[in-house]
Amino acid sequence: MKLIINGEEQEVTSSTLSGLLDELAYEHDFLATARNSELVSAEERASCELLEGDRIEILSPMQGG
């Protein structure tokens, strides 16, 4: 399935947001996620079904100053 992930089109096999994070090797604990501009909490990721063309944003904290 094709998704837009952080502004780039990607072909993925996962059908849930949680599965997508695993597929893309993200650490689940320290992320903010959104599907089609709607925030998805960590508790909702396993039940968040992905559809062709969804826009996914994955943000992780960065250190710096």
The residue to which tokens 């949680």 are assigned: 18
Confidence (pTM): 0.89
User: In this structure, what token pair is assigned to residue 47?
Assistant: 């039940």
What is the average per-residue pLDDT within 29-34?
91
Residues 6 or more apart whose Cβ sits within 8 Å of residue 3: 9, 10, 12, 20, 50, 52, 53, 54, 55, 56
Question: Where residue 28 falls among pLDDT bands split at 50, 70, 90?
Answer: confident
* Single-letter residue type at 29: D
Mean pLDDT of the chain: 93
Ordered by where they begin, the domains of the chain are: 2-59 (3.10.20.30)
